[in-house]
Structure 1
Amino acid sequence: MMKTIGETIKEIRLNKKIKQTEMKSISQSSLSTIEKGRLPSIELFLDVLKELDIDMMEFFYIQNDFQLPERDHLFKLFREQKQSLDEKYILEIQEKYDEYLTRTEDPFISSLRDILDIYLQINKTQSFNVTHDDAFEMWADIANRKVWYHNDIYVLTKIFYIFPIEQIDNVINSAVEQLKKYDNFPHIYFFKIAFFVNCSRHYILAGEPLKSKQHLIAAESLAKRHQIVILRLTAHYLLAYSDFVEGNIAQAQKRVNSTTQILFDLEKLNENLENDGSLNYADIANDFLKDWNKFLDNNKNK
């Protein structure tokens, strides 16, 4: 059984060795009643979390014994479904969604289940030319709203490709415009990159490659700005140090060589593109080599 909000606040407070009387955001008497079961106002709750140095997402993760709450876990399963035509995985997720939906009404999870139905139809017909009444109703409902929220946009970006090509432009352009409100939302760039790439793929498959251009430019710009490739390369390079210590010297050197070569190749590519102040990959490669050679020198006589 999930702990109450008060029990979780108390657990965090005691773990940080903070006495009730030491809390500045709330009186001792109010904190005592909350820890015994009274729900705090949202303003007070946020003040307490700030003082405990815990954000809301982490708080509910802790409350659920360091696991995602069920709804968040179900959403995570959907996001991890990388291959939309993996029928076995889709059916497994649907079974979990059905069980959850028998216990609670949840429009968002219900929408995700409808999307999984669409994926199954695509798999069966081997075509994006499928009809799904619930999907069209979703679009009609969301399109009439003045503001689209994150989950609204997320749902539409997963179903836009089943609409007639003459309608897709409207769906995509509306989603792009609404997404601008979320430019400062945490980690939104991952979502945006995937959306722009998926839009582009659909236009190309539909015989409209020129319409993909603006979306691919946006995806490339976001990926460059947030240095997604460089983080992966850095992690790969840093593993060379543990390889060396474990005695896998040849593997360690191969890791360093391959990583730095990719960086030098990226810099050559960068030179052929417009210079917009992005990372200098050659400088990063040279820093990697400098650190690695210093490490090798320090280990020569050991």
Structure 2
Amino acid sequence: MGEFDLIARYFTRPVREAVLGVGDDCALLAPKPGTQLAISSDMLVEGRHFLSTVDPARLGHKALAVNLSDLAACGAKPLAFTLALALPSADETWLEPFSRGMLALADAHGCELIGGDTTRGPLNICITVFGEVPKGSGPSSGITQALLRSGALAGDDLYVSGTLGDARLALEVFRGTLSLPEALFQQARLRMEQPTPRVALGQALRGIASAAADVSDGLLGDLGHILRASGVGASIDATAASDLIAACAHPDCPEDLFSFEQKLSLALAGGDDYELVFSAPAAARDAVLAAAALAHTPVTRIGRIEAVAGVRVVDAQGQLLAQQFDSFDHFK
């Protein structure tokens, strides 16, 4: 099977919203009047971002999900994406489930594949996703209604969506540093290999959240992007953060499986969660909960934005914890 046969068989579909899709040198998009394009790219490299043993259908899902998560953090509605794919060979038993998993998630979010490239090489997946957000509509809304990293203010509440730390649990099992009951491992593995992008929540938070980012490299690291862009700091409630691990609520989870310090480290620095961390004014608490209900996504208030730079993790008495946490960095 040649390159263009591969594209035609697994990745060519009828155009829906795009003006022109797969088949020409360029695709054509026409954003709706009053909107702006939101664009993001992510690369997944075998051995760095995923294991060679991963189910191809789950990998296809995740490859698009991590990009949709960026759109979610911006409050953008997905439109379309391109796929650049390097493959060791044109293996149909791998391509069929990979494309099926990817395109099922694309269909669920109305995001169509409009182009890209294929080549022979070590397995590498690079996706660029396009979304749309409304332009600013008044003197107080600026040039855009997109959620940005730069709007957090001292006194704002700090929230995170969903659960954190389970993907890191699965990774440690694969590394051989941790053993889990089978039911817990399968739950954690699903979070690692098939994350849920919080697209509906991101859109529901437009006009409510003051700043947002997606949690890909660990909560503290991605929160740090917000704090630097906004010129503020934050305090995090250690108890609230440590309760965010879904595996700990599983009926098969022994009470003493993890220490408090381990749970806190998993939640704050685990990575690969693809949840949203966001800030919102304290006066908007009811609005935040209403947005979460509308998006069918749980959110947890875990702290507050402060004027003093840096992140402080505090206990129930407000005392600073000395434990250090390091988020993921590709070049460390």
Question: Greater Rg, structure 1 or structure 2?
Answer: 1
Q: Tell me: higher relative CO, structure 1 or 2? Use CA pairs within 8 A at least 6 residues apart.
A: 2
Q: Answer yes or no: same fold by TM over 0.5.
A: no
Query: What TM-score range do you get, normalising by the shorter chain?
Result: under 0.3
Q: Structure 2 length as normaliser, TM-score?
A: 0.23
Normalized per residue, the structure richer in strand is: 2
Q: Structure 1 length as normaliser, TM-score?
A: 0.25
